[in-house]
């Protein structure tokens, strides 16, 4: 049979016609930070490490995690995890249990002794002085090491760990975990000088002379003084002091009824400790509200919500929006406290003021009152630095104004107060110190995040969040850890729930949905490498791939 | 291997799945029909011969001297695809070849003009899979109404004006007519659910004898939506109940894709210019909206589309993705 011209064409010859010339917009791959990443005070990119875990590489996931936070077994237990409140999945069903997976990876690293991805510093590298071996100081030292510098850490106490060691109750942070993680960190080649107190054994000026840069991370270790209209009961013990004692000896003298005053972590912990040592009646008095989704967040008591919940389970009686108006004393003996309801109200000038409501007073009969209204920087030896401030004022990189080469972070600067914030401060300060030593300005980190609306959630299915098991209340005695960990399958399932906001999920959607097709898939899977390429010779720029990308990883850009 | 080590030409030839329709075709941006044809051929594989009626698919794939097809392909008239496919099948049989004959046509070529040949094909029990790419109008010739155009949609021959708000008549119930031919398998599918679509193609090809697939394929040009929305529009057609995904054997419904969350028809309609007049402040527009909602509700009732519990194969589970792959 003879086919005449015009009657046939060879297969696939349409490739000769480049439909890409029609295009007004082009699709491009664009990574954007996931909200969990932007919200993590320590600077962790949870999206990135959840992705490694989802690929089945738990060690790779841990390595990615510790590129920002060297203490995941610790933060996985005690961090207030604002990442989870920012998590896009929270708008779909429930946020990823980021802290629980973080703990899982931290514990895996301890169990398997995975080496930190850090090489020991060269002997010739400049050495930076770090004062304070709490999370801020340790994080700074670790990141200095990562950046090729040496670090020497001084602390007044005989052991490293800061408040984590002295005051964080072991039922939330078992000492074995703390020892193991901090021990591994110090073993990386961080110099540690215990028993050296700044302002007594060594002075800032000496350090500035001996070291090219100094990072101060002394924490806020002094309890804020408390009285009621100038009156205090005899035998007053601060919550923080009692906690430290319980943490180190495991016992405390006990009363029959106690009221703890304050709404932060210290107050909730000392209340829980009181229950653990057997005090039948424990009250907690706070000016603020209980954490609840329907209450504006700035009114929540500052303690971590899940700790409040667990304290309630353990029988601590909370008195929100309540203040102590008067101590009911018979001579020196405390009979009770007079409480009054109060609220934060907007004043005519727009400011907020706590207003006690007359007529709501009541007397609570208790034997002991324990103040825990916050901590402040111990100013001894720091007078010249602090001036009349309660906290140190630093810029976003931790640079102390007016003193070159001195950096600070963690609880001693204004606005911190959480472990992950201290870790982030240490990390940023290390970057700033490295820049300072190289005579440069530190480079700002990009923060553009991807919103829920920029995802295509049609491609995700609902799945319940992995909830760690909690110790039954009856078994919550002494140092027994309350919260359990996830098992391997639970951690993997949680990683698989992650939307991968702003990063390629390798789901094939663009490859499947391009009508041309102008999306091609690379033959081999290389972790971290995007597997799809746009063939701009044929892409017409319809935008379908961008629209149907579940993770918002494709954006359309105008052609020049 | 990365893009530095391989040219795009080479990469295109080394894709890990069969591509029956090549790039360089002239479909509009975001054309649902181009996408649908890609998937049908991907599932049907290379061992097929296609008869294709006149219409967009034929025109945009074969501007002489080029062809976007990578399978043997034959152009038929608008009205005789069924007959041409029947002849193809008979010829293949005589030659002792195992290739499967496919017939492709638009809704105009299926519901209206080619219907007689299609009916004959089914009645004579030819071993042919007939695929109707339903873009609900005669699009190739400039968006005229067809028997498949939904009620109240505006086309150039059913404009929305003072006298009438779009098409006066209903969308023809083609599947009921197909069902009455008593064939072994007929199904509807949508470009919004590619895995479901491909499964149905494979299912049809298991059968010796006539089978029929009705694919919902949005037309950005004729429906008046952005090309980027084609899949979204197709998904909403399913999730509102306006385009139920069903399977039939011998005329009996044997499976439906359950709807987990039923969306109001307005969600689907308001994305499309052809229904824009239904959102005017006009009592007749409100009435037509209610009418279309009633048609969707009717489908939901007749086909029992409401999911009683979430299911991985329902309207929200069936398109789920996982890292590194689709879920199914
Ligand atoms: C009871 C309690 C519970 C808490 N619970 C939580 C929680 O659940 N989650 C959370 O995120 N945060 C919690 N916090 C807060 C958290 O512990 C701190 O934010 C964090 O430890 C601050 O780290 P840092 O490194 O800045 O200071 P610190 O951890 O306080 O470390 C400071 C270090 O500096 C040393 N130092 C102090 N002065 C000197 C000096 N003059 N010379 C030498 N060394 C000195 C100290 O010995 C100490 O080791 C809690 C705090 C308390 C008190
Ligand atoms: C008998 C006949 N009448 C009219 C035409 C003109 N014509 C060519 S394609 C077409 C419309 C095709 O519509 P449809 O089958 O729905 O396919 P679509 O283009 O919408 O994909 C028409 C009317 C023709 N080719 N032959
Ligand atoms: S879904 Fe995953 S990537 Fe997105 S915010 Fe939550 S944890 Fe981060
Ligand atoms: S779907 Fe294809 S043609 Fe459309 S923008 Fe994406 S790559 Fe280009
Ligand atoms: S007119 Fe419609 S069906 Fe035809 S090529 Fe364009 S989008 Fe596709």
Q: Is the pLDDT of residue A9 over 60?
A: yes
Contacts B67 to A, Cβ<8 Å? 9-14
On whether any CB of chain A is under 8 Å from the CB of B297, the answer is no
∠ CA A303-A304-A309, nearest 5°, is 100
pLDDT at A380: 84
Contacts of A535 in chain B (CB under 8 A): 8, 12, 23
What would be the CATH architecture of the domain defined by A127-221+377-437?
3-Layer(bba) Sandwich (3.50)
Specify the pLDDT at position B64: 86
Q: Ligand 4 pocket check: which of A516, A521, A530, A555 to mutate, most ligand atoms within 8 Å of Cβ? A: A516
Q: Which tokens sit at A532?
A: 């799809």
pLDDT tens track for A132-148: 999 999 999 999 999 99
Between CA A183 and CA A185 the distance in angstroms is 5
- Per-residue model confidence (pLDDT) at position A527: 74
The first and second tokens of residue A167, run together, are: 């005051």
Residues in a beta bridge with A233: none
Pairing label, strands A333-346, A322-330: antiparallel
CA distance B246 to B268: 19
Angle between helices B81-94 and B115-123 (to 10 degrees): 40
Topology of the domain covering A14-31+503-558 = Alpha-Beta Plaits (3.30.70)
Supply the pLDDT for residue B2: 61
Query: Do residues A15 and A392 make contact, with C-beta atoms less than 8 angstroms apart?
Result: no
Using a CB-CB cut-off of 8 Å, the residues of chain B touching A553 are none
Chain A interface test: which of B323, B325, B327, B328 (most A C-beta within 10 Å): B323
Residues 470-509 of A with CB under 8 A from B: 496, 500, 505-509
Coil vs helix vs strand at A540: coil
C-alpha A264 to ligand 1 mean position (Å): 14
pLDDT digits (tens, 9 = 90+) for B188-222: 999 999 999 999 999 999 999 999 999 999 999 99
pLDDT tens digits for A40-53? Answer: 999 999 999 999 99
What are the residue ranges spanned by the domains of chain B? 19-308
The two three-digit tokens of residue B70, written as one number? 């990578």
Q: Is A12 on the interface with B (CB under 8 A)?
A: yes
Omega prior to A371 cis, within 30 of 0: no
Distance B100 CA to ligand 1 centre (A): 74
Best probe of the B interface among A461, A518, A543, by most B CBs < 10 A, is: A461
CA atoms within 13 A on the CB side of A129: 23
Residues A150/A144, Cβ–Cβ less than 8 Å: yes
Percent pLDDT > 90 in chain A is 88
- Is B326 a residue whose pLDDT tops 50? no
Put simply, the answer to whether A515 touches B38 (Cβ < 8 Å) is yes
Residue in the block written with tokens 């667990």: A310
> Which chain B positions have a beta carbon within 8 Å of A540's beta carbon?
29, 227
Domain A35-116+455-497 CATH superfamily: Alpha-helical ferredoxin (1.10.1060.10)
pLDDT at A402: 87
Q: Do A19 and B12 touch (CB under 8 A)?
A: no
Using the beta-carbon criterion (under 8 Å), do B67 and A523 form an inter-chain contact?
no
Band of pLDDT at residue A525, cut at 50, 70 and 90? confident
Q: How confident is the model at residue A331 (pLDDT cuts 50, 70, 90)?
A: confident
Contact B325 A518 (CB under 8 A): no
Q: Where in chain A is the domain with CATH 1.10.1060.10?
A: 35-116+455-497
Cα A477-A478-A480 angle, rounded to 5 deg: 75
> What digits encode the pLDDT tens for the residues B3-45?
668 899 999 999 999 999 999 999 999 999 999 999 999 999 8
Residue A1 has pLDDT above 60, yes or no: no
> To the nearest whole angstrom, how far is the Cα of B328 from the nearest Cα of chain A?
11
CB proximity A547 to B under 8 Å: yes
Mean pLDDT, residues A151-172: 97
Residue B325 confidence (pLDDT): 59
The pLDDT of residue A560: 84
For residue A399, the distance in angstroms to the closest alpha carbon of chain B comes to 42
pLDDT at B327: 37
| Cα–Cα dist A250/A287, whole Å | 30
Q: Tally C-beta pairs within 8 A across A and B.
A: 165
Structure confidence by residue, pLDDT tens digits, A391-433: 899 999 999 988 999 999 999 999 899 999 999 999 999 999 9
Tell me where in chain A the CATH 3.30.70.20 domain(s) lie.
14-31+503-558
Q: Which residues of B touch A559 (CB under 8 A)?
A: none
Q: What is the pLDDT of residue B4?
A: 65
What would you measure as the largest C-alpha separation in chain B, in angstroms?
Answer: 64
The pLDDT, as a whole number, for residue A157 is 97
The closest CB to that of A16, out of B1, B24, B324, belongs to: B24
Contact B235 A506 (CB under 8 A): no
Q: What atom of ligand 3 comes closest to residue A89's alpha carbon?
A: 1
- For residue B34, the ligand closest to its alpha carbon is 5
Asked if the A226-373 domain carries CATH number 3.50.50.60, the reply is yes
- pLDDT at A352 (0 to 100): 83
Closest Cα in chain A to B320? A459
Contact B66 A546 (CB under 8 A): no
pLDDT of residue B180 exceeding 70 = yes
Check if B322 contacts A (Cβ < 8 Å): yes
| Nearest alpha carbon, ligand 4 atom 4 | A542
B106 lines ligand 2 (CB under 6 A): yes
Chain B CA closest to residue A531: B2
Q: Is A333 exposed, middle or buried (0-12, 13-18, 19+ CB in 10 A)?
A: exposed
Contact between chains at B69 and A19 (C-beta distance less than 8 A): no
Record: contact A14-B16, CB cut-off 8 A? no
| CB spacing of B35 vs A54 below 8 angstroms | no
Write out pLDDT tens, residues A345-386: 888 988 888 899 999 999 999 999 999 999 999 988 788 888
Q: Which of residues 434-463 of A touch B (CB under 8 A)?
A: 458-462
B36 CA → ligand 2 middle, Å? 18
- Band of the pLDDT at B328, cuts 50, 70, 90? very low
| Residue B168 CB neighbour total at 10 angstroms | 11
Q: What's the pLDDT tens digit per position in B69-125? A: 999 999 999 999 999 999 999 999 999 999 999 999 999 999 999 999 999 999 999
d(CA A532, CA B324): 12
Closest listed residue to residue A398, CA positions, set A375, A421, A374:
A421
Domain B19-308 has CATH 3.40.50.970: yes
Minimum-distance ligand 3 atom for the alpha carbon of A98: 7
Q: CA angle A161-A162-A166, nearest 5°?
A: 95
Contact check, Cβ <8 Å, A14/B24: yes
Question: What pLDDT is attached to residue A344?
Answer: 85
Q: What are the contacts of B253-256 at 24+ separation with CB within 8 A?
A: B253/B303, B256/B303, B256/B304, B256/B305
Closest residue in A to B318 (Cα–Cα): A459
pLDDT confidence of B273, banded at 50, 70, 90? Answer: very high
Q: What is the residue with the minimal CA distance to atom 6 of ligand 3? A: A87
The pLDDT, as a whole number, for residue A238 is 97
Average pLDDT, chain B: 96
Pocket of ligand 4 (CB under 6 A): A 27, 514, 516, 518-519, 534, 539-545
Q: How far is CA B273 from the centre of its chain?
A: 20
Residues A303, A268: Cα–Cα separation, whole Å: 7
Mean pLDDT of the residues in chain A: 95
Please indicate if any CB of chain A lies within 8 Å of the CB of B8: yes
Task: State what percent of residues in chain B have pLDDT above 90.
Answer: 95
User: What's the mean pLDDT in A66-75?
Assistant: 98
**Strand blocks (E) in B117-268:** 128-134, 185-190, 211-216, 246-249, 252-256
The total number of residues written for chain A in this structure: 560
Residues in A touching B227 (Cβ below 8 Å)? 540, 542-544
CB contact, 8 Å: B305 with chain A?
no
Return the pLDDT at A384: 81
Closest to B321 (Cβ–Cβ): which among A509, A543, A544?
A509
Average pLDDT over residues A514-539: 93
Which secondary-structure segment (H or E) carries A246?
Answer: helix A239-249
Which of 71-110 (B) contact A at CB < 8 A?
Answer: 71
Using CA atoms, how far apart are residues B30 and A543, in angstroms rounded to an integer?
8
Interface of A with B in 388-407 (CB under 8 A): none
């Amino acid at each position: 049979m003879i086919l005449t011209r015009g009657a046939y064409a060879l297969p696939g010859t349409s490739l000769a016609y480049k439909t890409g010339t029609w295009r007004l917009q082009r699709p491009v791959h664009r990574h954007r930070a996931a909200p969990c990443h932007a919200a993590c005070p320590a600077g962790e990119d949870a999206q990135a490490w959840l992705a490694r875990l989802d690929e089945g590489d738990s060690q790779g996931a841990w390595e990615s995690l510790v590129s920002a936070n060297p203490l995941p077994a610790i933060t996985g237990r005690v961090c207030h995890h604002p990442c989870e409140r920012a998590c896009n999945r929270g708008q779909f069903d429930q946020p990823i249990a980021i802290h629980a997976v973080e703990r899982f990876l931290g514990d895996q690293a301890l169990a398997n002794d995975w080496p930190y991805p850090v090489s020991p510093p060269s002997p010739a590298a400049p050495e930076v002085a770090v004062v304070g071996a709490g999370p801020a100081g340790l994080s700074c030292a670790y990141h200095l090491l990562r950046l090729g510098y040496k670090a020497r850490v001084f602390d007044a106490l005989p052991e490293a760990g800061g408040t984590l060691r002295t005051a964080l109750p072991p039922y939330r942070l078992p000492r074995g975990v703390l020892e193991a993680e901090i021990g591994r960190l110090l073993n990386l080649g961080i110099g540690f000088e215990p028993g050296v107190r700044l302002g007594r054994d060594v002075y800032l000026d000496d350090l500035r002379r001996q070291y090219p840069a100094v990072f101060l991370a002394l924490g806020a270790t002094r309890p804020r003084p408390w009285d009621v209209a100038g009156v205090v009961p005899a035998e007053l013990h601060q919550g923080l002091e009692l906690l430290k004692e319980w943490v180190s000896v495991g016992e405390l003298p006990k009363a029959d009824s106690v009221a703890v005053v304050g709404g932060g972590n210290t107050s909730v912990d000392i209340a829980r400790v009181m229950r653990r040592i057997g005090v039948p009646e424990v009250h907690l008095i706070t000016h603020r509200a209980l954490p609840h989704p329907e209450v504006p967040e700035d009114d929540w008591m500052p303690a971590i919500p899940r700790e409040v919940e667990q304290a309630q389970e353990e029988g601590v009686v909370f008195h929100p929006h309540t203040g102590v108006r008067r101590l009911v004393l018979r001579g020196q003996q405390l009979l009770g406290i007079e409480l009054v309801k109060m609220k934060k109200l907007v004043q005519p000038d727009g400011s907020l003021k706590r207003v006690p409501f007359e007529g709501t007073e009541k007397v609570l009969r208790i034997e002991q009152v324990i103040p825990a209204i916050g901590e402040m920087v111990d100013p001894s030896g720091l007078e010249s630095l602090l001036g009349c401030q309660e906290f140190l004022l630093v810029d976003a990189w931790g640079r102390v104004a007016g003193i070159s080469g001195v950096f600070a972070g963690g609880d001693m600067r204004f606005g911190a107060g959480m472990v992950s914030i201290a870790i982030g401060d240490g990390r940023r300060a290390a970057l700033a110190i490295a820049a300072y030593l190289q005579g440069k300005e530190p480079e700002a980190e990009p923060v553009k995040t991807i919103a829920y609306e920029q995802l295509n959630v049609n491609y995700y299915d609902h799945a319940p969040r992995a909830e760690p098991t909690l110790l039954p209340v009856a078994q919550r005695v002494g140092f027994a850890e309350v919260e359990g960990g996830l098992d391997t399958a639970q951690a993997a399932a949680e990683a698989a729930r992650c939307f991968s906001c702003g990063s390629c999920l390798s789901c094939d959607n663009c490859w499947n949905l391009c009508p041309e097709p102008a999306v091609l898939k690379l033959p081999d899977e290389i972790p971290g490498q995007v597997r799809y390429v746009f063939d701009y010779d044929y892409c017409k720029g319809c935008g379908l791939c961008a629209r149907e990308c579940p993770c918002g990883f494709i954006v359309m850009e105008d052609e020049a | 291997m990365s893009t530095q080590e391989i040219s795009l030409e080479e990469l295109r030839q080394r894709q890990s799945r069969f591509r029956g329709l090549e790039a360089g075709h002239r479909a509009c941006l975001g054309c649902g029909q181009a996408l649908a044809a890609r998937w049908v051929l991907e599932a049907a594989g290379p061992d097929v011969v296609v008869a294709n009626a006149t219409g967009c698919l034929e025109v945009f794939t074969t501007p002489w001297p080029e062809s976007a097809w990578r399978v043997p392909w034959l152009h038929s008239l608008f009205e005789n695809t069924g007959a041409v496919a029947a002849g193809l099948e008979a010829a293949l049989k005589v030659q002792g070849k195992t290739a499967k004959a496919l017939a492709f046509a638009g809704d105009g070529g299926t519901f209206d003009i080619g219907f007689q040949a299609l009916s004959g094909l089914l009645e004579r029990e030819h071993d042919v899979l007939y695929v109707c790419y339903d873009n609900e109008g005669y699009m190739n010739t400039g968006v005229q109404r067809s028997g498949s155009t939904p009620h109240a949609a505006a086309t150039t021959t059913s404009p929305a004006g003072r006298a009438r708000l779009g098409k006066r008549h209903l969308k023809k119930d083609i599947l009921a007519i197909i069902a009455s031919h008593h064939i072994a398998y007929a199904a509807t599918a949508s470009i919004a659910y590619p895995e479901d679509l491909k499964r149905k193609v494979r299912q049809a090809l298991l059968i010796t004898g006539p089978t029929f697939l009705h694919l919902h394929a949005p037309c950005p040009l004729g429906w008046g939506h952005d090309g980027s929305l084609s899949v979204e529009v197709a998904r909403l057609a399913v999730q509102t109940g306006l385009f139920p995904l069903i399977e039939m054997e011998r005329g009996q419904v044997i499976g439906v894709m359950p709807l987990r969350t039923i969306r109001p028809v307005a969600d689907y309609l308001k994305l499309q210019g052809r229904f824009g007049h239904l959102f005017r402040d006009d009592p007749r527009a409100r009435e037509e909206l209610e009418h279309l909602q009633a048609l969707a509700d009717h489908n939901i009732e007749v086909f029992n589309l409401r999911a009683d519990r979430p299911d991985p194969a329902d309207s929200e589970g069936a398109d789920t993705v996982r890292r590194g792959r689709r879920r199914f």
